[in-house]
Amino acid sequence: MSETAEPNVGSFSLGGPLTAGPAGTIEVPEHEEWPLPNGFAWVFLGDRNPGIVRPVIMADGFSLGRSKLDVLYQGLEGGEYPLISELRRRGRDVILLGYEERSASILENADAVIGAVLRARAEQLGDARLVVGGFSMGGIVTRYALAKMESQEIDHGAALYFSYDSPHRGASVPVGVQAFSHFIPFPNDFAKQMNSPAARQMLWQHYDRDTGKIGVAPERTEFLAALAEVGHWPQVPLKIGVANGRADGVGLPEVKPGEVALRIDRIYPGTTFYAQAQGDDVTAAYLNRRFPKAQKTITTDGFPEVDGAPGGTLHTYKILADAMKKVGGKIDLRYEDVCFVPSVSAVAIRDIEKQDDLYANIDALRPEESELNDFRCSSETTTHTALTEELGTWIVDRLPD
């Protein structure tokens, strides 16, 4: 390698607290494991239940590789609201559902949900209705799976569907950050994650590594068509959802549209990322590398100010800055977080392409505008999928008898 070459950045990827945190601080209790099509599940019986009586199926979210259900368990138990313990205390049987490959197509991973639903119903004692939902992408996977079962006239037995900060109208990773993942002159998990089927299906705008163009990925168009084919949503269960972002239209005041978010020097010298601004031919990022020598400017046309929008946040720039710092980069990090799942997307009430919709005061809208039957936004901006007492309690209090 040339002395002027950028070093290999190693393995890093973007992820929220339920997929990126370390495991091991809380002991995972005894459980059964189910093999499923394209996935698997861990089963935790409710307190004093002799078997599966009142099942709650909760699906994992997006990342790379096989689901780490020990990490998911820690995320659901280790915060301010121990969701699994609370469910089991109330006599609910918790079924944590994971995938063999979290970045695979949502349509494929839905088979794991269908398998879990059918097995839960086959082993269930009594006739209590199921609760089925998930976190982030897990809410989309379960949404599609239940709707598909209904379209095939398969009784899923679910009385309640829930989503937790799920990108019903799309998620956002800054397009400059997406482009940088492919600008790194080494194979890396970051690029693999950004180019995965699930990312292409969920991101509202995707940077295509082959063409350099920014737009709606074909996989997203195909997924939305598949969702429409099964009726968009399950119709039988009550549909509820929560957002980690606020409902009053207030986003991230520290994120200033058009200003520098992160600058890297020494390696990738002068590479700079800017907070997304409105307008045409807006610079989102300037990328520079020494070997193989290349420069690239990433521009956008007609984007809203999505980085600072109301929504569940992701430590996007901090994760990137930390990775660059580890390999010798000089870092100027202006802010760590950007909006990942806009509030209007998480509660399925507005699209995110237009500024006015993205920053809508949800509290002032008619609740009937949402495609969910009921929803709740966080009173304060919180990290994507962070399990807070406010949101956790709201869901648990709405479980069917």
Q: Say how many C-beta atoms besides its own lie within 10 A of residue 104's C-beta.
A: 16
CA 45 vs CA 77, 161, 162, 243, 358: distances in Å: 16, 20, 20, 28, 41
pLDDT of residue 17: 66
Residue pair 276/303 in contact (Cβ under 8 Å)? The answer is: yes
What CATH number is associated with residue 102?
3.40.50.1820
Q: Are residues 237 and 331 in the same domain?
A: no
Global confidence as pTM: 0.95
pLDDT of residue 13: 67
Domain membership of residue 198 (yes or no) is: yes
Are residues 301 and 392 located together in one domain of the fold?
no
CA separation for the pair 176, 317 (Å, rounded): 11
Domain identity same for 133 and 153: yes
Average of per-residue pLDDT across 190-208: 96
**Which residues touch 239 (CB under 8 Å, ≥6 apart)?**
161, 162, 233, 371, 372, 373, 374
pLDDT at 27: 87
Q: Which residues does 284 contact at the CB level (< 8 Å), separation at least 6?
A: 174, 175, 176, 273, 274, 276, 298, 299, 300
Classify residue 356: in a domain, yes or no. Answer: no
Residues 241 and 267 in one domain: no
Asked if residue 357 is part of any domain, the answer here is: no
Are 376 and 313 found together in one domain? no
Domain count across the chain: 2
User: Are residues 165 and 205 both part of a single domain?
Assistant: no
Residue 2 located in a structural domain: no
pLDDT at 171: 97
Question: What does the pLDDT look like over 28-45, one tens digit per residue?
Answer: 998 999 999 999 999 999
Residue 355 has pLDDT above 90, yes or no: yes
Are residues 58 and 118 both part of a single domain? yes
Integer Cα distance of 17 and 345 in angstroms: 19
State percent of the chain over pLDDT 90: 89
Q: How far apart, in Å, do the first and last CA atoms of the chain sit?
A: 64
Locate the DSSP E strands across 198-305.
206-207, 214-215, 238-243, 260-265, 271-274, 282-290, 293-300
Other CB atoms closer than 10 Å to residue 331's CB: what's the count?
Answer: 17
CA quadruple 346, 348, 354, 357: dihedral sign: negative
**Is there a single domain that holds both residue 298 and residue 180?**
yes
Q: What is the mean pLDDT of residues 295-320?
A: 96
CB atoms inside a 10 Å sphere around CB 374: 15
Do 53 and 187 belong together in one domain?
no
Are 36 and 76 part of one and the same domain?
yes
Per-residue confidence band for 12, with pLDDT thresholds at 50, 70 and 90: low
190 & 85 share domain: no
Domain that holds residue 160: 22-169+223-250+365-396
* Lowest-confidence pick of 4-13, 341-350, 366-375: 4-13
Residues 187, 188, 191, 197, CA torsion sign? positive
pLDDT of residue 22: 63
Is residue 355 in some structural domain?
Answer: no
Position 269 in a domain = yes
